[in-house]
Structure 1
Amino acid sequence: MKITQDLVQGALFSIIGLVALVMALQFPLGTPNRMGPGFFPVVISALLLLTGIAILMRGRLGKSEVIAMSRWWPIAIVTVAIIVFGFLLDKLGLPVSVLLLCIGAGTASITFALNWKAVAGAVAFSAACGLLFVTLLGLPIPLVGSWLQVLAVR
């Protein structure tokens, strides 16, 4: 079986739509006149699931490009960088975690060079994320994580 773009995209949309639909059905739907908290997520996830099924059918009936299996390493690097970000967010805080995410994911590019420009850009983006998400939007994400608080106390 050839792995085509339509197969991957359709499967991704279908899986995300199905999982979101199962999660959304846990909330009350209400009626179209008096929508409950689950109404909009159910509609959107059902549409995503239907779109995924349509893409899968198009890939089966039509001709879709086969995905070349030569560049999996960058996908793995970015995936690991995102997972590490998730694990380190509470331990290091948002700015440091975003900094590591930017530099880690950047290494997936063949043109990436760890120089002062890359570090300065990552630092600026990290500071902007901390300002925007924590300070301005008030999201409950620590700016200084538990590991860094322990170091600051000593």
Structure 2
Amino acid sequence: MNDRNLARGLFLVAVSLAFGLTALRYPIGDFARAGAGLFPVVVSSMLLLIGIATVVRSRFVQKVHLDFHPKNIAIILGSLCAFAVVTLLVNMTAAIVTMVFIATLAGTTYSWKRNVKIAIGLCLMALVFAKLLGMNLPLY
């Protein structure tokens, strides 16, 4: 299988089934009184439909070669690990900045100005989650 579109669709189907089948262990309820499993089941069902549509579409469009870059995968995983470690040792704001600057090393271009803008945007989103939604995040 060397078709990027087919691989993308199969990956979406696998992720949706993994989360959807796990969510079925929780009470679903109904839309008037939603249970803990209703939202994950609905979201994974929509993701399953998108995955199936992507698999079907891959049969009708020209195949796109699937490139595999283990170095980039390692960089992204390293940035996520650095995020977790810096969050524990310092705070989440520093961890977001660290993650952005490490993760963008996997791209084809590198711009510290773009990284600063992305980090500021993510920090603002985390602040919204903490202040407006009342989530307990160690931002500072």
Counterpart for residue 55 of structure 2: 56
Q: How far 1:58 moved relative to its partner?
A: 3.9
Q: Which amino acid aligns with 1:21?
A: G
Checking the alignment, whether the CA contact within 8 Å between 1:96 and 1:126 is kept in structure 2 is no
Counterpart for residue 96 of structure 1: 94
Checking the alignment, whether the CA contact within 8 Å between 2:13 and 2:52 is kept in structure 1 is yes
Aligned residue pairs total: 140
Alignment partner of 1:112 out of 83, 86, 110: 110
1:104 and 1:47 map into 2 onto residues whose CA distance is: 32
2:98 and 2:40 map into 1 onto residues whose CA distance is: 33
Aligned-pair Cα RMSD in Å: 3.1
For residues 1-154 of structure 1, the aligned pairs below 5 Å read 2-31=1-30, 34-59=33-58, 61-69=59-67, 73-114=71-112, 117=113, 120-121=116-117, 124-125=120-121, 127-129=123-125, 131-144=127-140
Q: How far 1:32 moved relative to its partner?
A: 5.8
Structure 1 residues 83 and 56: alpha-carbon distance in aligned structure 2, compared to 1, 3 A threshold: farther
Q: How far 1:56 moved relative to its partner?
A: 2.6
In the superposition, the TM-score normalised over structure 1's length comes to 0.67
Q: Deviations over 1:17-48 (max 9, x none)?
A: 11111221121123466543323432331332
- Which structure: larger Rg? 1
Q: Which amino acid aligns with 2:77?
A: T
Which structure 2 residue ranges, 5 or more long, are not aligned?
A: none
Which structure 1 residue ranges, 5 or more long, are not aligned?
A: 145-154
Checking the alignment, whether the CA contact within 8 Å between 2:127 and 2:139 is kept in structure 1 is no
Checking the alignment, whether the CA contact within 8 Å between 1:28 and 1:38 is kept in structure 2 is yes
- When structure 1 is superposed on structure 2, of 125-134 and 104-113 the one drifting more is 125-134
- Between the aligned residues of both structures, percent identity stands at 27
Q: How far 1:142 moved relative to its partner?
A: 1.3
